[in-house]
Amino acid sequence: MTSDATTKTDQTANEIEKLRVLIESARVVLWDFDGPICRLFARHTAERVATELVDWLAGRGLRNLLSDSERDSLDPHEVLRAVDLRHPGSDLVTELEERLTQEELRAAGSALPTAYADPLIRTWTAVGARLAITTNNSPKVVRTYLDDRGLTACFAPHIYGRTTDLHLLKPDPHCLNRALAAMGSAPSAALMIGDSPSDLAAAHHAGVPFLGYARNERKGKLLREAGAGCVVASLEPLLRVLRGW
């Protein structure tokens, strides 16, 4: 075996060992929703939703409520967070959040399951781990998707999503702390699976070990630059570890 091949084999073995340690230490697994479980906006794109929210504000004469970078954002949550920052708890924020929830519900009907997510969720549940959703998406949307996939029983009642307190969206650890408290888990006995730097930050603030999922190199680079120590491009290795392959 060449030295390059040996190095690559060693790297793979080290990565599998990191996964094994994370998985075997986790009695509770906190899942982000959009990304690790599914691509919510696979066809009903997040970029289009963000643009429509900006256009809705402009139609009400509120275009200047957002900065140029916020108007150009491709993330509907960033638009929502920006409006809440300037008008916290207002009827405007309530209406904007409801519009986003409706768009997410429409997207749920065409969401694409993340490869290996369904069997991984079922297997992790079968071996005795307790699972929760900790997401910035609406809990209504999460339940709709899980019901359609027959996965609700793997998580219910532990689905912690967006509330009317929008300042508590991740990277604030609020939804993680809610899950830990409800499940009676110490942070060190949990594992957070997320696909964004805000997931990593929330896990860090909550004291929960983190596993990054990155479906492409761009997302992987963002996670590693944010400080993620373990990032996978597929959920298959987790399933293999759980099944003892």
Percent helix / strand / coil, the chain, rounded to 5: 60, 10, 30
pLDDT, greater one: 9 or 20:
20
Assigned token pair, 106: 């429409």
Q: How far is CA 189 from CA 82, 117, 177, in A?
A: 34, 21, 13
What pLDDT digit, counting tens, does each position of 184-232 carry?
999 999 999 999 999 999 999 999 999 999 999 999 999 999 999 999 9
Q: Which two structure tokens, joined as six digits, stand for 167?
A: 């300042």
Q: How many CB atoms lie within 10 A of CB 16?
A: 13
**Stretch 6-21: mean pLDDT:** 71
Pick 14 or 56 by higher pLDDT. 56
Q: How many CA atoms lie within 13 A of 44 on its CB side?
A: 19
Across 161-189, average pLDDT:
96
> For 95-121, how does the pLDDT look when each residue is reduced to its tens digit (9 = 90+)?
999 999 999 999 999 999 999 999 999
Residue 7: per-residue pLDDT:
41
CA dist., res. 23 & res. 16, Å (int): 10
